[in-house]
C-alpha cells in the first residue's frame, strides 16, 4: 500500500498540534500524538469520548491542516453498500440500453458497468481521491451502524481497497486518513478495533474550554468567556442526566453574544439554560439548585 508522503507537512506531533491550533482546533498532547500517528502511519484511528467533546471536529480540523477534502459518512442502522460505497446509475443504464436498441447496436456488460455509470458514495469517493495528499475520511458514529456494516468496513480499513463485483477490486491511489468516531452506545467488534489506533477524548479543563470558546466565538467578550467556561464546569459538577460538553459551551457563548449580554448572571443564565441543558429533569435540577449554580462567578 503506497503511503503518501506527509513527512513534509507533518514532521512531528508538536507541529500538528500547532497547525490544529491555527485551524481553530485546540487539542492536548495525547490527542495530537494519536492523530499524528494515524496520519503518518496510514492507520485508521478510532476516537471515542462523551458526546460534544469534539470528535467530529478533530477530523474536520485534520482535513483543514492537511488541506484536503473531508469526506464524511454518517452511520445508521441499515446502511448498505449502495449508500456508503457505490451505486450504479440505473436510469442512465436504462437510457443507454434504449439508445443502443434504437441505433441497432449491441451492448455488452462492460459498456454498462463502467465508471460512467458508477455513482461514488463517500467511501469510494475517499479512495478515488487523486491526491497528492490523502483525503480525510470521517466515518461518524460508527456505533450507530450495525454489525453488518462494521464487517463491511474491514476491507476498507485494512487494505484501503474495496471490491465491486462488476469492476473488481479498487485500490486507493492515495489511501485516505480514516477517522472513526463512536459514542460507545454499543461495543464495537474487536476485529474493528484491532485495525485502528485508539484515542479517548476527555472533557478538557476550564482554561482550555475558555480558550476554545475564544477561538470559536470571537465575538464573545473577555469576562463572558471565562464565565461560560466556569459555568459549564459548574453544571458538570451537578448530577445531570446529560452534562453539557464543549459543543454546548460554544452554543451558550454564541447565545449570550446574540442576546448582547456582556456578563453571565443569574437572570441571563435562567433565560439561556435551554441552550446548555436539554432534559427537563436537568432544567428542573438547575431550578432547584438555583441558577447561581450556572453563574460563572
Tell me the C-alpha distance between 170 and 176, whole Å: 13
Give least dist CB 266 to another protein, A. Answer: 26
Cα dist from 78 to 147, 150, 151, 157, 183, whole Å: 10, 11, 13, 20, 18
Work out whether 187 is an interface residue with another protein (CB under 8 A): yes
Tell me the C-alpha distance between 127 and 146, whole Å: 22
Is the Cβ–Cβ distance between 153 and 194 less than 8 Å? no
Tell me which residue of 182, 287, 184, 185 sits closest to 235, measured CA to CA: 287
Give least dist CB 77 to another protein, A. Answer: 5
Give least dist CB 219 to another protein, A. Answer: 26
For the chain, how are helix, strand and coil distributed in percent, rounded to 5? 50, 15, 35
Contact with another protein (CB under 8 A) among 34, 63, 139, 156: 34
Judged by CB under 8 A, the stretch of 55-63, 85-93, 246-254, 268-276 that binds another protein is 85-93
Contact with another protein (CB under 8 A) among 9, 15, 51, 215: 51
Contact with another protein (CB under 8 A) among 1, 94, 151, 258: 94
Contact with another protein (CB under 8 A) among 23, 33, 59, 123: 33
For the chain, the residue count is 297
**Cell numbers at 196, concatenated:** 485502528
Work out whether 1 is an interface residue with another protein (CB under 8 A): no
Work out whether 3 is an interface residue with another protein (CB under 8 A): no
The nearer residue to another protein, 38 or 139, going by C-beta atoms, is 38
Cα dist from 261 to 18, 106, 224, whole Å: 32, 72, 8
Give least dist CB 95 to another protein, A. Answer: 10
Contact with another protein (CB under 8 A) among 19, 40, 57, 233: 40
Tell me the C-alpha distance between 47 and 176, whole Å: 16
Sign of CA dihedral 174, 4, 139, 253: negative
Give least dist CB 127 to another protein, A. Answer: 21
Is the Cβ–Cβ distance between 19 and 65 less than 8 Å? yes
Work out whether 28 is an interface residue with another protein (CB under 8 A): yes
Judged by CB under 8 A, the stretch of 78-86, 123-131, 251-259, 270-278 that binds another protein is 78-86
Query: Is the preceding omega at residue 24 within 30 degrees of 0, hence cis?
Result: no
Contact with another protein (CB under 8 A) among 9, 88, 161, 262: 88
Compute how many residues bind another protein; rule: CB under 8 A.
60
The nearer residue to another protein, 154 or 200, going by C-beta atoms, is 200
Work out whether 290 is an interface residue with another protein (CB under 8 A): no
Between β-strands 86-88 and 118-120, what pairing exists: parallel, antiparallel or unpaired?
Answer: antiparallel
Tell me the C-alpha distance between 209 and 133, whole Å: 31
Contact residues for another protein, defined by CB under 8 A: 7, 12-14, 17, 28-30, 33-34, 36-38, 40-41, 43, 45-46, 48, 51, 76-78, 80, 82, 87-88, 90, 93-94, 97-98, 101, 107, 109, 112, 143-144, 146, 148, 183-187, 190, 193-194, 196-200, 202, 204-205, 208, 241-242, 281
Amino acid at each position: 500500500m503506497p503511503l503518501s508522503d506527509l513527512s513534509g507537512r507533518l514532521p512531528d506531533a508538536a507541529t500538528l498540534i500547532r497547525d490544529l491550533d491555527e485551524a481553530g482546533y485546540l487539542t492536548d498532547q495525547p490527542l495530537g500524538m494519536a492523530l499524528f500517528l494515524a496520519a503518518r502511519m496510514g492507520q485508521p484511528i478510532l476516537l471515542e469520548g462523551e458526546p460534544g467533546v469534539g470528535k467530529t471536529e478533530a477530523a474536520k480540523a485534520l482535513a483543514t491542516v492537511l488541506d484536503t477534502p473531508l469526506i464524511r459518512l454518517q452511520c445508521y442502522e441499515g446502511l448498505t453498500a449502495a449508500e456508503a460505497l457505490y451505486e450504479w446509475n440505473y436510469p442512465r443504464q436504462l437510457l443507454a440500453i434504449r439508445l443502443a436498441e434504437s441505433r441497432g447496436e449491441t451492448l455488452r456488460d462492460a459498456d454498462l458497468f463502467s465508471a460512467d455509470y458508477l455513482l461514488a458514495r463517500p467511501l469510494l469517493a475517499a479512495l478515488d481521491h487523486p491526491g497528492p495528499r490523502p483525503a480525510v475520511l470521517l466515518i461518524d458514529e460508527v456505533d450507530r451502524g450495525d454489525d453488518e456494516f462494521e464487517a463491511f468496513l474491514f476491507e476498507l480499513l485494512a487494505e484501503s481497497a474495496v471490491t465491486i463485483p462488476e469492476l473488481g477490486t479498487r485500490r486507493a491511489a492515495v489511501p485516505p486518513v480514516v477517522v472513526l468516531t463512536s459514542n460507545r452506545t454499543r461495543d464495537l467488534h474487536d476485529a474493528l478495533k484491532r485495525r485502528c489506533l485508539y484515542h479517548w477524548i476527555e472533557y478538557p479543563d476550564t482554561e482550555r474550554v475558555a480558550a476554545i470558546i475564544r477561538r470559536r466565538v470571537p465575538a464573545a467578550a473577555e469576562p463572558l468567556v471565562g464565565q461560560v467556561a466556569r459555568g459549564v464546569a459548574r453544571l458538570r459538577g451537578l448530577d445531570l442526566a446529560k452534562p453539557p460538553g464543549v459543543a454546548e459551551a460554544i452554543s451558550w457563548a454564541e447565545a449570550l453574544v446574540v442576546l448582547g449580554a456582556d456578563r453571565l448572571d443569574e437572570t441571563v443564565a435562567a433565560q439561556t439554560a435551554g441552550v446548555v441543558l436539554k432534559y427537563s429533569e436537568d432544567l428542573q435540577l438547575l431550578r432547584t439548585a438555583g441558577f447561581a449554580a450556572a453563574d460563572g462567578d
